[in-house]
């Protein structure tokens, strides 16, 4: 959204929002006021009709009491009583009959003053209960009937039956608004007096109206909003008629009752719409005047960002915008001068950087945040075997014509820039190369935001070839030493047995020393040869179920004689471990080296503990002593050939842990040294319970 549009929207909202808020508040107040007036009107109508009904019933009851008093005072016979009652029966047009009945409901004297009425089920039930006031709602052509019962001193009852036409006329001729009306309900909620506009079918649903239930339960005057049987919202009020526990209801559709408020709302919406159009037009005109100078400055700033320095027009607005334009002109002039000074420096720094990158022997590759290459020096192009003249800028590794091995190795380093240095081998330019790859993330110093990755490639082909030649020479020498050592050991045994003649005590000691030294030398030669066989995978795994607890127990018994010379004891806790699929002989060699080292480096009268646990599909062993521990700097190096912690040399060439590493890696496991300097040096081994690859095919990294 442009600045002009934002300003127009802001100014329009500033003018329109208060107007809308005021209009909404006014409409809400008007609606609440109208609703209060409507409910007050309904309440007054309901109270007036309730008073009329109560007065009507009380008047009829007074006529009955007057008849009783007159008959008692005159002490008339039945003929005289009939005359008095007939006078009462004809005193009001609504009276249909006046009767004297016994407690069982039998009519002893009946005086009719109008057409006979059919006895409805409701009247039958009332007469059976001897209710003092009983209503029979209108049904079809039959009108609503009211029956009053007054006790006589002789145990008889005076019963007055009426058709309350005067009440019905009053209710039928009274209208609330256009379609509002009033009705009278009995204590069951049934309408007993209602206008003709309330059809018989609809009148049957009145007991289910919420306002009917409220009126009967409240026993007081009230009003409410409710929904009728058709879901239409209605406004109503109610007033109780205590004489027979009924109530008068007034009902009017809410839309009709609130017509004035709704008309006001529609008028308000129209006024607000017109005001909104006027406000937006004024806001657009004003925002255009305000935004035009800023747009001119914005266009000039865009040109500066693109590298050009135009003459910025001076705004003559006479306000803060003019001051802004003057400051902007000065800034552009300073930037132009600074760019001219710095351009030569930047070009010179760039030439120096390019010369440095293309002169070093190590290969350098750099990617941006999206993984696209932005830099590759000459050495990197030579090592990866890219064709001469091939451009790498903006391209991904998978798009370059690299050897598959080189692409995989470089991609692995890019995916994990904080990982260790990796060694990879591939063929480029017809020659095999061995390359060390180290990755480093490129981050901003301020917020550590990752902007790319730098890969450093070092060609170590010659170093690895020299190491292989050295290892081959060493293996050849040790192989040639094996036979002479075996001969020396054999002849020393014969000499000690006296085959060449009896030896003196001094000669016997000298020959025994020769035999011990030869055996140690032969053991070292065997270690070197075994390591060479493991490194070049000339040892094939003969996998079988192996219980490591049994192997550890046998190894402890074998080493116990030597260990007891220094008071060192063994504690093996591997009985609960499940068997693993491994080479039994190599497991013997693994535990022998680990437990032998632990016994050598344990303190005098110390303890070597062998424990283990199961971790999912793997088994983890831990061989620990109580010696001086392994420094952190040697926790990785100690597994390399001929590496020993300074100051702890106790015989051997430092090949035992290297052999252990090769054995573990051949089984698809891993080995590591735990804990820094402190009590003990635990060595942990993790081995899979099952061999995933064929015997002898497990990958391993040679030293």
CA dist., res. 139 & res. 27, Å (int): 45
Phi, psi of 346 (to 5 degrees): -65, -40
Q: 61 or 287: which carries more pLDDT confidence? A: 61
The mean pLDDT of 446-456, rounded to a whole number, is: 79
> And the tokens for 121?
């089920």
Q: 606 or 199: which carries more pLDDT confidence? A: 606
Q: What's residue 317's pLDDT?
A: 66
Expressed in angstroms, the distance from the first to the final Cα of the chain is: 64
CA dist., res. 625 & res. 604, Å (int): 11
Q: What is the dihedral of CA 464, 465, 466, 471, to 10 degrees?
A: 90
Distance from chain centroid for Cα 624: 45
Q: Is residue 49 a contact partner of residue 247, using CB atoms and an 8 Å limit?
A: no
Tens-digit pLDDT profile for residues 630-676: 777 777 878 877 777 766 655 556 788 888 888 898 888 999 987 54
Q: What's residue 695's pLDDT?
A: 39
Q: How confident is the model at residue 535 (pLDDT cuts 50, 70, 90)?
A: low
Does 247 score more than 90 pLDDT?
A: yes
Overall pTM > 0.75? no
> And the tokens for 592?
């022998």
Edge-to-edge order in the sheet of strand 133-136 = 107-112, 95-101, 157-162, 145-151, 133-136
Q: Is residue 595 a contact partner of residue 570, using CB atoms and an 8 Å limit?
A: yes
Q: 12 or 454: which carries more pLDDT confidence? A: 454
């Amino acid at each position: 959204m442009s600045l002009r549009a934002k300003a127009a929207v802001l100014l329009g909202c500033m003018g329109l929002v208060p107007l809308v808020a005021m209009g909404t508040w006014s409409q809400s107040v008007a609606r609440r006021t109208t609703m209060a007036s409507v409910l007050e009107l309904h309440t007054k109508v309901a109270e007036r009709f309730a008073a009329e009904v109560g007065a009507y019933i009380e008047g009829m009851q007074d006529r009955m009491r007057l008849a009783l008093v007159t008959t008692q005072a005159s002490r008339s016979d039945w003929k005289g009583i009939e005359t008095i009652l007939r006078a009462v029966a004809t005193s009001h047009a609504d009276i249909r009959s006046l009767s004297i009945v016994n407690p069982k409901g039998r009519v002893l004297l009946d005086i009719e003053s109008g057409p006979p009425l059919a006895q409805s089920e409701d009247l039958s039930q009332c007469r059976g209960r001897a209710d003092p006031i009983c209503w029979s709602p209108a049904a079809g052509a039959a009108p609503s009937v009211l029956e009053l019962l007054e006790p006589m001193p002789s145990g008889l009852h005076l019963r007055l039956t009426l058709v309350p036409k005067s009440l019905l006329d009053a209710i039928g001729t009274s209208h609330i608004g256009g379609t509002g009306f009033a009705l009278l309900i009995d204590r069951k909620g049934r309408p007993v007096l209602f206008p003709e506009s309330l059809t018989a079918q609809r009148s049957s649903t009145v007991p289910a109206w919420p306002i009917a239930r409220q009126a009967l339960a409240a026993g007081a005057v009230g009003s409410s909003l409710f929904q009728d049987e058709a879901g239409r919202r209605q406004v109503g009020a109610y007033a109780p008629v205590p004489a027979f526990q009924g109530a008068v209801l007034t009902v009017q559709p809410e839309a009709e009752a609130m017509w004035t408020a709704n008309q006001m709302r529609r008028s308000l919406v129209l006024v607000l719409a017109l005001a909104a159009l006027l406000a937006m037009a004024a806001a657009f005109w004003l925002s255009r005047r305000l935004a035009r100078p800023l747009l001119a400055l914005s266009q000039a700033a865009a040109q500066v960002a693109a590298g050009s320095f135009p003459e910025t027009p001076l705004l003559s607005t006479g306000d803060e915008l003019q001051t802004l334009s003057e400051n902007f002109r000065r800034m552009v002039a300073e930037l132009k001068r600074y760019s001219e000074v710095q351009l030569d420096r930047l070009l010179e720094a760039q030439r120096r950087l390019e010369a440095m990158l293309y002169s070093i022997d190590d290969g350098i590759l750099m990617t941006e945040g999206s993984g696209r290459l932005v830099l590759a020096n000459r050495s990197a192009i030579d090592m990866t075997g890219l064709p001469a003249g091939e451009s790498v800028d903006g391209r991904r590794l998978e798009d370059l014509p690299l050897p598959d091995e080189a692409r995989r190795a470089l991609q692995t380093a890019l995916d994990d820039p904080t990982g260790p240095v990796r060694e990879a081998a591939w063929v480029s330019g017809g020659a095999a190369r061995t390359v060390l790859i180290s990755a480093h993330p490129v981050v901003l110093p301020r917020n550590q935001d990752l902007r790319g990755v730098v890969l450093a490639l070092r060609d170590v082909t010659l170093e690895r070839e020299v190491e292989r030649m050295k290892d081959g020479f060493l293996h050849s020498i040790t192989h040639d030493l094996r036979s002479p050592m075996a001969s020396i050991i054999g002849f020393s045994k014969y000499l000690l047995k006296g085959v060449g003649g009896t030896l003196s005590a001094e000669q016997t000691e000298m020959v025994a020393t020769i035999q011990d030294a030869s055996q140690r030398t032969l053991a070292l030669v065997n270690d070197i040869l075994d390591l060479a066989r493991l490194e070049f995978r000339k040892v094939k795994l003969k996998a079988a179920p192996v219980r490591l607890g049994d192997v550890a127990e046998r190894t402890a018994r074998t080493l116990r004689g030597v260990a007891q010379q220094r008071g060192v004891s063994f504690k093996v806790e591997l009985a609960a471990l499940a068997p693993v699929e491994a080479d039994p002989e190599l497991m013997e060699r693994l535990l022998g080296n680990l437990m032998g080292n632990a016994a050598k480096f344990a303190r005098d009268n110390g303890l070597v503990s062998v424990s283990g646990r199961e971790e999912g599909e793997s088994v983890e062993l831990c061989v620990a002593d109580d010696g001086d521990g392994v420094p952190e700097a040697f926790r990785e190096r100690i597994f390399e050939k001929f590496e020993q912690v300074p100051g702890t040399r106790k015989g051997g060439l430092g090949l035992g842990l290297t052999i252990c590493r090769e054995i573990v890696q051949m089984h698809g496991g891993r080995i590591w040294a735990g804990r820094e300097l402190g009590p003990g040096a635990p060595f942990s081994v993790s081995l899979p319970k099952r061999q995933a690859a064929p015997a002898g095919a497990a990958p391993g990294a040679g030293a």
